[in-house]
Amino acid sequence: MKTRVALETDFVHLLARLIGASDDDDPPIERTGKELTCSQPVLGRWIDDCDFPFLMETLALPDRVFSQEFPEIKLSHKDRETFAKVLTTHCKECARCNAKQAEDIAWRLRIKKVIAKNKEAIGAALADEPREP
Ligand SMILES: [Zn+2]
């Protein structure tokens, strides 16, 4: 069986295709802060490597779900909550990470719009997905 994270990754790829194929007039979302320097590169790597809303949702998972998805990461819900706050605060203080966070949120809104427009096609594509034994 696929893990929830693997399914979400497939789903994101499907959406990326739909967004790429959509013919509305939204300008492409570009990374604007890339030339800026992160004030705390250890935190900045998290922001750089992860989709911000997805990272926040993952950190907010209930302990039972989190330990199933990431058995190797021993962080309690409280630890993860603290880390999420540190990352959110950093995004307010760091121009580079602030830009990345804003782009990730814009991307998430774009995805929501594409889902609303393509509900039937997405449902059909997900229903077609071969299930592993
Ligand atoms: Zn930063």
3-class secondary structure per residue, 6-57: HHHHHHHHHHHHHHHHCCCCCCCCCCCCCCCCCCCHHHHHHHHHCCHHHHHH
Would residue 6 count as lying in a domain? no
What distance in angstroms lies between residue 45's CA and the mean position of ligand 1's atoms? Answer: 8
User: Does residue 105 fall inside a structural domain?
Assistant: yes
CA of 53 to the centre of ligand 1 (A): 16
User: What pLDDT is stored for residue 21 in this prediction?
Assistant: 64
Return the pLDDT at 52: 95
For the chain, the domain total comes to 1
Q: Is residue 12 part of a domain?
A: no
CA of 72 to the centre of ligand 1 (A): 26
122 lies in a domain?
yes
From the CA of 81, how far away is ligand 1's center (Å)? 19
- Pair of tokens at residue 39: 């004030």
- Each residue's pLDDT tens digit in the chain (133 positions)? 556 666 677 776 776 777 666 556 666 667 778 889 999 999 999 999 999 999 999 999 999 999 999 999 999 999 999 999 999 999 999 999 999 999 999 988 888 888 888 888 878 877 876 655 5
Residue 89 lies in a domain: yes
Q: Phi and psi dihedrals of 76, rounded to 5?
A: -75, 170
Tell me if the pTM is above 0.75. no
Beta carbons of 29 and 121 less than 8 angstroms apart: no
d(CA 8, CA 112): 14
Pick the closest to residue 99 from 30, 53, 45 (CA basis): 30
Asked if residue 48 is part of any domain, the answer here is: yes
How far is ligand 1, taken at its centre, from the CA of residue 100, in Å?
9
CA distances from residue 8 to 4, 23, 126 in whole angstroms, order as listed: 6, 24, 11
* Pick from 126, 111, 124, 127: nearest CA to 20: 111
CA of 10 relative to ligand 1 center, distance in Å: 28
Task: Examine residue 108 and state whether it is found in any structural domain, yes or no.
Answer: yes
- Domain containing 124 equals 41-133
Q: What's the CA-to-centroid distance between 86 and ligand 1, angstroms?
A: 11
Residue 57: what pLDDT? Answer: 94
Ligand 1 centre from 20 Cα, in Å?
Answer: 28
DSSP H or E run through 111: helix 95-117
Is residue 28 a part of any domain in this protein?
no
The pLDDT, as a whole number, for residue 131 is 58
